[in-house]
Amino acid sequence: MNRREFIERSAVAAVGSALASRSLPLINVRNPVTAAEGDHKELVSQAIASALSAGAQYADSRVALYMNRRLSTRENRTSGISETDSIGLGVRALVDGSWGFASTAELSKEAAARAGAQAASVGRANAAVARSQVRLAPVESYGDVTWRSAFTIDPWDISTADQLDYLLNLNATALKNPAVSFVSSSFHFVKVVQTSATSEGTVAVQTLVRTNPGMAITAKSRDSVDFQNRQWVLYPAGRGYEYVLERFTPEAVEEWASEAAAMLAAPSIEPGKYDLILLPSHLWLTIHESIGHPTELDRAIGYEANYAGTSFLAPPADVIGKLRYGSPLMNIVGERTSEGALASIGWDEEGVRASEWPMISEGVFVDYQTTREQVHWISEYTGVHRSHGCAHCDSWSTIPFQRMPNMNLLPASTDVTLEDIIGATDRGILIKDRSSYSIDQQRYNFQFTGQVAWEIRNGRLGGMVRDAGYQANTLEFWNSMDMIGGPSTYEVAGSFYDGKGEPGQVNPVSHGCPVARFARANIINTRQSR
């Protein structure tokens, strides 16, 4: 059977079955991916109209296509080539102060209408048993708007064959280093095409591209008793294939390969107290775990207690404007606006325009991450009456809830360089790139390790050391920050896979930061720590 016959016969079979069962009519055999933007606007409008006519006071809806391309190689071979796509419509309705949600993969006006009505009926069922009501913070009506993330080359415009060749060439470069025994590399590209609307008059068509290049280089000893993995060499970005061409280069691979070789020969760290200098390629994850998660407002209230835990940053009334989180050098902003960052967006799932706001000012905690319904929980203490736009869902079939925005540690106003900081350090450790990370369920005690570490003695960068990690308490750690780099040291890194919620949803997020120094940190030797 050829493809045309397959489609025709399947259509006939579907019609027959549908007639027989009086359900699941055959519709919409045209390609939903190429359907005009106007069609998707019609669908979300239909879902919202249907929810409103079924009694909802507010509704939001989205039709979203998620495309994922994953390519992997090791040494001189391809080890995986796959693409996944998923498309559908989700709708959320607020009825008498309670939420309802429904979704469908069927892209027709009828299905959108059914989903809207279903969401409203679920909301009504909730309202019947709820004694308090969701209250949404006000938002402007933006009309028809479009937004596109900062990419210049769509990864889907490059063939998988070319992308695999690119990876295999980089592998060959790594293997030129005689100490390198193994190398694996990968690309994960994501493209989201989303049309979302709210009943308050915002219809946003947004296109997001994300790029995640990966490489792991292994150097091993000749007698097979020792090996070192150099990985997490680059971080994902809200950019296109141009990010690969700029950063995933043969020159960079040569450097990573020589680091793998040097790590194998490096002496093991002597544990103890050192001044700890963290490069942005490492510090972003410490920010994510010890500042990002504790400042999730729903987590601080207790909603995540059975999963990742709660937060030491509670209750809000006791900490907003009062808690000294870190040293006066510490300024943290939340934002969803910076170009190329993973959580950046034009409008969030509730029609809130992306913005930037202070979260920690000169070391004092001032605000959490919020969605529209969370604003009034803390507005008495923050004086803020608008949402920070943190509503996100990871699929058309999942419910939007509060997720982490980009959260950045601001650099010093003067241009303090890495060299300045090293020069001012008598006994220190410099750590680059992320490795192991672990933090307790209220975000007090953490332990991190990096990919590469160097010793600093008497203001000079010394040799590489291995097995270095640090253990600290969140507030003690951030209060020990005594030097911070200027704008020229600022970099952005992040992750595709920040997890939260039950059932779990993932969220891409970036963190920008300069180099920073932490006085007299507790440095452990991971080899001896057992």
Partner 1 sequence: MAILGHCFEILAMPPMVGEILIGYCSQSRFQVHKILRDRTTGLLTSTQAQDLTQRIIGISSADQTRVNITHERRSNTRFALNRITTSGESEDLQITVTCTFGRRRAAITTNRIDAEGLAKAVEKAEEMARLSPDDPELVPELLPQELLEIEGFFESTAHLDARGRADVAASAIEAVSAVGDLSAFGFLDVRAQVTAVANTEGLFGYHPSTWVSYALTVRTDDGRGSGWDRAGHRDWSAVRAQSVHENAIRRALNSQGPRKLEPGQYTVVLTPHAVSSLVGLLAGALNARSADEGRSAFSAAGGGNRRGETIIDHRLSLTSDPAALGSAPFESDGLARRRTMWIESGVLQNLQTSRYWALRSGLRPTGSSSSLVLDVDGLTDRNLDRIVASTERGLLVTRLHYIRSIDPRTITYTGLTRDGVLMIEDGKVAYPVNNFRWNDSPLFVLNRIDALGSPERVSASRVVPAIRARNFNFTSISEAV
Number of residues that bind partner 1 (CB under 8 A): 119
Q: Which two tokens stand for residue 4?
A: 């045309």
Nearer to partner 1, 306 or 413 (CB): 306
Cβ closer to partner 1: 163 or 489? Answer: 163
- The CB-of-492 to partner 1 minimum distance in angstroms stands at 23
Find the shortest distance in angstroms from Cβ 478 to partner 1.
15
Residue selected from 186, 231, 379, 526 as contacting partner 1 according to rule CB under 8 A: 526
At 221, give phi and psi (nearest 5°).
-75, 155
| Among the listed residues 302, 321, 463, 499, the single contact to partner 1 using CB under 8 A | 302
Q: Which stretch in 140-148, 171-179, 356-364, 431-439 sits in contact with partner 1 by CB under 8 A?
A: 431-439
249 contact partners, CB below 8 Å, separation of at least 6: none
Among 37, 38, 53, 84, binds partner 1 (CB under 8 A): 84
Structure tokens at 473: 């308490």
Q: Report the residue number, 231 or 355, with the smaller CB distance to partner 1.
A: 231
Residues 311-370 interacting with partner 1 (rule: CB under 8 A) = 312
Among positions 381-410, residues that touch partner 1 (CB under 8 A) are 397, 399, 401
Number of CB atoms found within 10 A of residue 241's CB? 24
- Cα 166 to Cα 244: distance, rounded to the nearest angstrom: 10
Minimum separation from the CB atom of position 411 to partner 1 (A): 29
d(CA 252, CA 240): 19
Stretch that binds partner 1, among 25-33, 137-145, 340-348, 482-490 (CB under 8 A): 25-33
Contact 409, 513 (CB under 8 A): yes
Q: Is 447 exposed, middle or buried (0-12, 13-18, 19+ CB in 10 A)?
A: middle
Nearest-5° angle of CA 103, CA 150, CA 396?
A: 5
Site for partner 1 in 128-187 (CB under 8 A): 129-134, 159-161, 164-165, 168, 181-182
**Residue 115 CB, nearest distance to partner 1 (Å)?**
6
Stretch that binds partner 1, among 238-246, 279-287, 298-306, 481-489 (CB under 8 A): 298-306
Residue from 145, 498, 189 nearest 354 by CA: 145
Please name which of 492, 293, 512 lies closest in space to residue 403, comparing C-alpha atoms.
Answer: 293
Cβ-based burial of 16 (10 A; exposed 0-12, middle 13-18, buried ≥19) = exposed
In the region spanning residues 88 to 117, those forming contacts with partner 1, defined by CB under 8 A, are 88, 90, 92, 98-106, 111, 114-115
At 205, the amino acid letter reads V
Q: Could you say which of 87, 179, 263, 509 contacts partner 1 (CB under 8 A)?
A: 87
Residues 465-504 that bind partner 1 (CB under 8 A): 467, 469, 471, 473, 502-503
If residue 208 lies in a helix (H) or strand (E), which one and from where to where?
strand 202-220
Nearest CA to 513 out of 293, 234, 284, 277 is that of 284
Cβ at position 6, least distance to partner 1 in Å: 5
- At residue 298, the 3 state secondary structure works out as helix
Strand 272-278 versus strand 427-439 pairing type: parallel
Residues 29-58 close enough to bind partner 1 by CB under 8 A: 29-32
| Interface segment toward partner 1; rule CB under 8 A; list 197-205, 247-255, 407-415, 439-447 | 439-447
Choose the binding region for partner 1 from 188-196, 278-286, 307-315, 483-491 (rule: CB under 8 A): 307-315
- Binding to partner 1 (CB under 8 A) within 184-243 occurs at 218, 220-221, 223-227, 229
Sole residue written with tokens 């034009």: 346
Q: How far is the CB of 309 from partner 1 (least distance, A)?
A: 7
CB 464 within 8 A of CB 452: yes
- The site string for partner 1 over 176-195 (x = CB under 8 A, - otherwise) reads -----xx-------------
Instruction: Determine phi and psi for 386, rounding to 5 degrees.
Output: -125, 150
Scanning 294-302, 318-326, 490-498, 511-519 for contacts with partner 1 by CB under 8 A, the matching segment is: 294-302
Is residue 514 within 8 A of residue 411, CB to CB? The reply is: yes
